[in-house]
Amino acid sequence: MSATSKITRSHLDRTAVVYVRQSTLAQVREHTESTARQYGLVDQAVAMGWDDRNVQVIDTDLGVSGRSTEGRDGFRALVSRVCLGEVGAIFGLEISRLARSSADLSRLLELARLTDTLLIDGDGTYNLADFNDRLLLGLKGTMSEAELHLLAGRLQGAKRAAAARGELRTPLPVGYLHDDQGSPVIDPDEEVATAIRDVFAAFAAAGSAYQVVAAFAGRRFPLRAYGGAWAGQLRWGRLNHARVLGILNNPAYAGAYVFGRYASRRTVGPDGSIHSGITLLPMSDWQVCIRDHHPGYLSWEDYLSNRAKIAANRTHTGARPVREGHALCQGIIGCGSCGRPMSTRYHRNGAAAYECHARKDQQATPTCRSVSSHAVDEIVVERLLAALNPDEVALAFAAADEVTNRRDRASRAAELAVERARYDSDRAERAFHAAEPENRLVTRTLETRWETTLAALAQAQAALTAAHAAAPPLPARVDLEALVTDLPRLWHAETASARDRKRLLRTLIADLTVLPETDRDKIRIGIRWHSGATDEIITARPLPDCPLAVAVSVREDDRPIVGEARRRLRRGGDEPRTRARSGRRRATGGHNDRMGHREGC
């Protein structure tokens, strides 16, 4: 059947659509001949019988890949018009211009078959109602998708090979430039380099990205523009939290060359739409990591330490970083009755209290309570400073040595398993390389055996890593010795802030627990030290420090004084009367005292 015989009056009365597409903007800019040929299909449609007023060009997908329908408004508009039966024929240079995905192309071909729409390219005219035409177009669509896969595989393979050598050039972060040989070097602009160094210095001092932003308030920060009219230029602006995190997490500042930090992920929405996104991979999944590749602003150990600090600041993962406020145990104190953490609540008079979360959720147990932060902090600090006498430190050293020995014995089995798995893997590799490559009957078996030993080695290494990660870190002996003389002096220094004291406290204390206590006049506190030792302290619960409560806390024989106090308060209006009644209930052991709100003055 000839091409002209497939075109009927029904096709000519409908619209002929010329679909124009190029995969990238670089192709649109540089391959102008291909674009001109696609626009020239308008003349071919007119020559085949369509009126020039019935020929429409869809070119909104110029510079968009045909890998999927995401972002291809022109293709979606074409499919919609085909469904409505408005299109008589679709023109294109080749079938791959319509879609590189055989799934998308098959859907378009099915719709074209149902609406009697022709497809016309450089090889001929296709009527989808004809089985042979439908089979041929399906085969060309599959070949187009396979071609895209092969091209992408070759390009990605070349990129990975260059990256493995550290030679793949990528945009450098601000603070670096490429020299004449193409190697990364620190920016010779002293203002730029100083700004980057000050970011790391501020984070080392404050330990928080938000504190770094506060330290740069009113100071400009450099930005290297990539793409657009400012490509390659140095711009100056304000330092924000996202940029601080980007700098701290970027291994390039530690002198490392990294490839494969991010991966593209495609997800399907509830409505069937496909969304693409970029996911940050863990360090173990980076494809290439070459240390000491170029000069760095900090060492690799400092970079890992910064990452650990950032992870410890993420409260949504359960971490409890140091915050503002004078409550020293904030974030590391929990309720021993229900097991939930205790939050810090500040009153208008500046007093603070640790309150169990279960009280807010109305799920408190009979022994859940709210305790004054001053009462807890005073006892904990006293115990902390008392623990730094020579006898206690000697016991701490002995305990740390015992814990270290115990951990070494526990992890020794995992280390031996890794050593055994590595030996088996090396032996299987030597056997594989010793075999003749032509003898596939033998090499296939040896290759399978080698892959099995490699999998066993990976499992053993993962078990060893998990064993090391499960154990909490122990303070270094040098740090403990320094704390014996430094901590008391630093603690009582006038320049020490609440955040500094919290950090010093957490150096030795892992967490605290308000243990269940039936006697409301007492507080029982459990302390867990980083060394693994635990302490339990029972102390009297102090009365609230409230002047109004003291004024009305009187004996029975002092009732005239109470009456006079009430009269004085009533002359001040309704609000003082309410406070007087509230204070009297606290002072006389009323219902607020029984509910555990004695510190709520």
For residue 152, give its domain range: 3-162
pLDDT by residue (tens digit) across 186-215? Answer: 999 889 999 999 999 999 888 888 889 999
List C-alpha distances in Å: 273 to 49, 75, 270: 38, 15, 7
Contacts of 565 (CB under 8 A, 6+ apart): 551, 552, 580
pLDDT the model gives residue 317: 64
The total domain count for the chain is 4
Residue 169 maps to a domain: no
pLDDT the model gives residue 258: 92
Same-domain pairing of 406 and 302 = no
pLDDT the model gives residue 367: 77
Same-domain pairing of 385 and 414 = yes
Same-domain pairing of 244 and 141 = no
Q: Residue 107: which CATH number?
A: 3.40.50.1390
What phi, psi does 223 have (nearest 5°)? -145, 130
Same-domain pairing of 398 and 532 = yes
Q: Tokens 């308008």 label which residue?
A: 42
What is the spatial distance between Cα 298 and Cα 300, in angstroms, rounded to a whole number? 7
Residue 167 maps to a domain: no
Same-domain pairing of 341 and 479 = yes
List C-alpha distances in Å: 333 to 188, 355, 364, 530, 560: 48, 10, 16, 14, 45
What is the spatial distance between Cα 91 and Cα 64, in angstroms, rounded to a whole number? 18
Same-domain pairing of 422 and 535 = yes
What is the spatial distance between Cα 376 and Cα 399, in angstroms, rounded to a whole number? 26
pLDDT the model gives residue 406: 67
Same-domain pairing of 296 and 330 = no
185: left (phi over 0), alpha (psi -120 to 50) or beta: beta
Same-domain pairing of 200 and 304 = yes
What is the spatial distance between Cα 538 and Cα 541, in angstroms, rounded to a whole number? 9
DSSP summary character for residue 341: B
For the chain, the straight-line distance linking the first and the last C-alpha, in angstroms and rounded, comes to 96
Residues in the chain, pLDDT under 50: 546-601
Same-domain pairing of 437 and 406 = yes
pLDDT the model gives residue 544: 58
Please state at what angle helix 574-587 crosses helix 559-570, rounded to 10 degrees: 150
Contacts of 425 (CB under 8 A, 6+ apart): 450, 453, 454, 456, 457
Contacts of 30 (CB under 8 A, 6+ apart): none
Whether residue 23 lies in the annotated active site: yes
pLDDT the model gives residue 570: 42
Structure tokens at 68: 């999927």
Residue 600 maps to a domain: no
What pTM, to 2 d.p., does this model score? 0.55
Burial of 437 (0-12, 13-18, 19+ CB in 10 A): exposed
Q: Residue 189: which CATH number?
A: 3.90.1750
Same-domain pairing of 452 and 583 = no
What is the spatial distance between Cα 241 and Cα 94, in angstroms, rounded to a whole number? 49
DSSP summary character for residue 476: P
CB atoms under 10 Å from CB of 572, counted, come to 11
Residue 395 maps to a domain: yes
Per the residue annotation, which of 2, 5, 10, 23 is the catalytic one? 23
Q: Are 58 and 78 in contact (CB under 8 A)?
A: yes
Residue 170 maps to a domain: no
Residue 38 maps to a domain: yes
pLDDT the model gives residue 579: 39
Same-domain pairing of 382 and 492 = yes
pLDDT the model gives residue 567: 43
What is the spatial distance between Cα 152 and Cα 143, in angstroms, rounded to a whole number? 14
CB atoms under 10 Å from CB of 174, counted, come to 21
Give CB contacts under 8 A, 24+ apart, made by 449-457: 450/425, 452/428, 453/421, 453/424, 453/425, 453/427, 453/428, 454/425, 456/421, 456/424, 456/425, 457/418, 457/421, 457/422, 457/424, 457/425
Same-domain pairing of 100 and 191 = no
Which of 182, 185, 187 has the alpha carbon at shortest distance from 167?
A: 182
Which of 210, 513, 466, 233 has the alpha carbon at shortest distance from 354?
A: 513
Residue 584 maps to a domain: yes
